[in-house]
């Protein structure tokens, strides 16, 4: 009996110990999951805020073109240069500009050689060369882009793939310049071949360091296996986005002599990429998503190459210009008054129709008629002050029947919205469809919108990319929308897996997940989360520093007595009111603010802990420094637009003009003395030009230990 009772006692202790261990483990896992989710929200909030800034900046450019009155011919030329650089070349001009045949490959070149038509051995040679960090000669790059462009021009807007001709179709999501992920996909799944089809769903470039190599490999396989390899356009296949997120810079660093030609050719290739892919007429593959106005019939018929940049697709208000602009031989001139001053007439002047094209070209003539009629309608409206809301909108189709001449009479705005929605949209759990204010482009679409699209076009489900997912893929909308993301370790090593999905004739998705970085495999879950968390909070502290002045103003609202102290609750409220990232600041507070006994925060000393390490601090005003750091991405984008030859250099005068536009966009005041001090301090070699890369490197954040 004693032995039996002792046994029961030991069993009871063991059971209690097991329960305690289980409770501890569950709490530990729950804390790790909470930390992971907070980290994820930080990364996504900062990423989407940056995309929103990009779209706001280009909306500002459009506003500038409509409302900015140049005060001199130099200013007028400066403005026009910012926008002309993005326009497309005519066919013959592009061929002449990007003439690859004029480039000679020297005998000293040891990289891969290409000859057309391409063979599978060429693709294998390219893969091996890129693994050895070799570079393809500019002649071959331009030749490849030339052939790719010719092929893409023959493709429809929506590609059609059938599983009848191959065992499976593999769909890959965003790669974002991470070549190791593409190598791993090919290693696990096999190279494209007549029996192995691939759909690459956009966002091949930007952020990663080997975007160009990815493009070269994909375009090579596209030309070798045109029926088995399909490429969709993503929102990053856009030269205006590339200016901000690194692809433009990458190409110019790798091809300093011929980079400008390569970029111009890539820009033209991007606008010819198909917009979607249909698998067995049942699965729609698009980069972003859909909206309540998505019309696949319209998408199939629009002229997709018109949208060189989707960011520039919005129709600007021509009626709101401050000056009348005449476009004569590419020059913009303001109408002077009798005294020679530029004036804006009080009444709108009647538009003068352009010279009519020949009737032999029916398409051009129909477009001329439509444009002329619309201009006359707008002029009449302004004269009698008729708004669109008061009268039924008159359109070209209501006055002139042109369907026999020029097909459907969609407006450019309608076409732009179709393209913008499928490239920029994201799914949401709520019903309905609303503007995507987080990214700044596209929309949020709910399960009901998905259901209507599937029912209307007899589809089973949608595959999209565009969003990083921790496991590399994620279902939503009752498993009717699948997000696939193929760039592993996107935010930081260990932050996420990459994945691709395989579809057989039964269209049942089979997923393959992977980690392309070897270090990620050696980390425990706790180490991985800690590493990613550290990177996320470092980025968040940079954001906080960049808004120092605004934070001080927000804190003072809660510091009525000017004590320099506020409650931690008020700190969280004030920070969100400034950054507007939608983050749980009370939960993040222990990682950002040292705990205090009385629950009060000395906010000035806290902001001092977010100080900037300045390489050229002697001459730069602290307020100017903060403005630079907060808006360096916007400034870099403007800088690269002005730098038409992509040399990385602009003159002092252009730099002053940049800051003039920049201050106008951000509604801030900058003194000439402050700008001059800045110019002198960062012109290290005193050659009279500004190197923007050195400019960015001149300012770094001190990584404070917590």
| Contact of 50 with 491, CB cutoff 8 Å | no
Strands 481-484 and 461-464: parallel
Q: How far out from the chain centre does Cα 550 lie? A: 27
Our CA dihedral for 18, 24, 28, 30, rounded to 10 degrees, sits at: 90
| Contact of 397 with 409, CB cutoff 8 Å | yes
> Exactly one of 122, 137, 236, 547 is catalytic; which is it?
236
- Cα 552 to Cα 603: distance, rounded to the nearest angstrom: 8
Q: Which residues of 513-522 are buried (b: 16+ CB within 10 A; e: fewer)?
A: ebbbbeebee
Residues ≥6 apart with Cβ < 8 Å to 659:
670, 675
**H runs (alpha helix) in 246-285:** 247-254, 259-270
Q: Compute how many other C-beta atoms are within 10 angstroms of the C-beta atom of residue 606.
A: 17
Place of tokens 């929102």: 235
Half-sphere exposure (Cβ direction) of 68: Cα atoms closer than 13 Å = 20
Q: What's the residue count for the chain? A: 706
Q: Compute how many other C-beta atoms are within 10 angstroms of the C-beta atom of residue 404.
A: 8
DSSP 133: T
Q: Compute how many other C-beta atoms are within 10 angstroms of the C-beta atom of residue 696.
A: 17
Residue 47's SS3 state is helix
Place of tokens 């120092």: 548
Q: Compute how many other C-beta atoms are within 10 angstroms of the C-beta atom of residue 449.
A: 24
CA angle 296, 298, 301 (to 5 degrees): 110
Long-range contacts of 218-223 (CB under 8 A, 24+ apart): 219/144, 219/145, 219/148, 219/269, 220/114, 220/118, 220/122, 220/123, 220/126, 220/144, 221/123, 221/191, 221/192, 222/148, 222/151, 223/116, 223/117, 223/118, 223/144, 223/147, 223/148, 223/151
> 236 an active-site residue?
yes
Catalytically active residues are 236
């Amino acid at each position: 009996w004693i032995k039996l009772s002792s046994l029961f006692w030991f069993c009871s202790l063991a059971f209690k110990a097991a329960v305690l261990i289980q409770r501890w483990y569950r709490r530990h896992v729950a804390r790790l999951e909470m930390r992971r989710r907070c980290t994820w929200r930080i990364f996504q909030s900062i990423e989407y805020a940056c995309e929103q800034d990009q779209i706001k900046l280009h909306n500002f450019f459009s506003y500038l073109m409509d409302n900015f009155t140049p005060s001199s011919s130099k200013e007028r030329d400066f403005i026009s240069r910012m926008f002309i650089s993005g326009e497309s070349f005519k066919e013959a001009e592009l061929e002449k500009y990007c003439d690859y045949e004029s480039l000679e490959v020297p005998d000293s070149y040891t990289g891969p050689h290409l000859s057309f038509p391409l063979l599978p051995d060429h693709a294998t040679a390219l893969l091996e060369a890129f693994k050895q960090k070799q570079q393809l000669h500019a002649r071959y790059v331009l030749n490849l882009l030339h052939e790719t462009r010719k092929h893409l021009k023959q493709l429809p807007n929506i590609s059609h793939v059938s599983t009848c001709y191959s065992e499976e179709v593999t769909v890959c999501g965003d790669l974002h310049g991470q070549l190791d992920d593409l190598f791993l996909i090919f290693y696990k799944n096999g190279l494209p071949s007549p029996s192995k089809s691939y759909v690459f769903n956009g966002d091949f470039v930007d952020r990663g360091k080997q975007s160009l190599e990815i493009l070269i490999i994909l375009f090579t396989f596209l030309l070798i296996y045109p029926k088995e390899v399909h490429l969709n356009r993503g929102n990053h296949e856009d030269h205006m986005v590339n200016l901000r997120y690194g692809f433009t810079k990458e190409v110019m660093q790798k091809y300093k002599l011929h980079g400008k030609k390569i970029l111009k050719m890539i820009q033209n290739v991007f606008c010819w990429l198909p917009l979607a892919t249909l698998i067995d007429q049942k699965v729609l593959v698009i980069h972003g998503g859909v909206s309540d106005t998505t019309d696949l019939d319209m998408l199939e018929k629009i002229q997709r190459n018109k949208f060189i940049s989707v960011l520039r697709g919005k129709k600007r208000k021509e009626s709101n210009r401050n000056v009348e602009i005449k476009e004569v031989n590419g020059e913009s001139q303001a109408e002077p008054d009798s005294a020679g001053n530029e004036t804006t007439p009080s009444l709108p002047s009647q538009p003068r129709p352009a010279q009519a094209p020949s009737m032999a070209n029916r398409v051009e003539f129909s477009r001329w008629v439509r444009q002329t009629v619309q201009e006359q309608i707008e002029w009449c409206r302004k004269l009698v002050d008729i708004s669109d809301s008061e009268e039924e909108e008159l359109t070209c189709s209501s006055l002139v029947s042109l369907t026999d001449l020029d097909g459907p009479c969609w407006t450019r705005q309608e076409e732009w919205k179709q393209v913008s929605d499928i490239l920029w949209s994201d799914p949401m759990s709520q019903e309905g469809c609303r503007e995507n204010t987080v990214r700044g482009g596209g929309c949020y679409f709910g399960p009901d919108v998905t259901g209507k699209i599937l029912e209307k076009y007899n589809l089973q489900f949608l595959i999209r990319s565009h969003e990083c997912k921790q496991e590399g893929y994620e279902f939503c909308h009752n498993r009717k929308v699948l997000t696939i993301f193929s760039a592993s370790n996107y935010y930081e090593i260990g932050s996420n897996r990459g994945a691709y999905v395989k579809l057989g004739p039964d269209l049942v998705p089979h997923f393959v997940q992977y980690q392309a970085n070897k270090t990620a495999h050696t980390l425990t879950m706790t180490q991985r989360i800690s590493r990613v968390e550290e990177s996320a909070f470092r980025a968040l502290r940079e954001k906080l520093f960049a808004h120092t002045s605004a934070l001080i103003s927000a804190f003072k609202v809660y510091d009525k007595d000017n004590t320099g102290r506020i409650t931690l609750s008020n700190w969280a409220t004030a920070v969100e009111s400034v950054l507007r990232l939608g983050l749980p600041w009370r939960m993040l507070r222990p990682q950002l603010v040292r705990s205090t006994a009385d629950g009060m925060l000395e906010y000035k000393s806290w902001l001092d802990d977010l100080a900037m390490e300045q390489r050229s601090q002697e001459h730069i005003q602290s307020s100017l420094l903060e403005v630079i750091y907060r808006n360096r991405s916007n400034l870099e984008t403007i800088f690269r637009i002005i730098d038409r030859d992509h040399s990385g250099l602009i003159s002092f005068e252009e730099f002053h003009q940049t800051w003039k536009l920049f201050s106008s966009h951000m509604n801030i005041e900058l003194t000439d003395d402050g700008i001059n001090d800045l110019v002198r301090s960062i012109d290290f070699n005193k050659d009279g030009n500004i190197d923007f890369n050195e400019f960015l490197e001149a300012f770094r954040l001190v990584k404070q230990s917590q």
